[in-house]
Amino acid sequence: MEHDEVLERAMKLGKEKHPEAPQHHHAAFANTVATLVTGWSGGYGGPSMREHWAARVAESKGADGTFSFEDAVATVDDACYGSLTIDHARMLEEEHCFDDAPGETEAAQRLLTMHEQRN
- What ranges do the domains of the chain cover? 3-118
CB 44 within 8 A of CB 64: no
pLDDT of residue 66: 78
For the entire predicted model, the pTM comes to: 0.93
10 Å CB burial of residue 60 (0-12, 13-18, 19+) is exposed
Peptide bond into 19 cis (omega under 30): no
> Amino acid letter at 105?
T
CA distance 95 to 91: 5
Average pLDDT per run of 10 along the chain, which is 119 residues long? 94 98 97 92 91 94 82 97 97 93 96 91
pLDDT of residue 65: 66
Residues 6+ apart with CB under 8 A from 116: none
10 Å CB burial of residue 19 (0-12, 13-18, 19+) is exposed
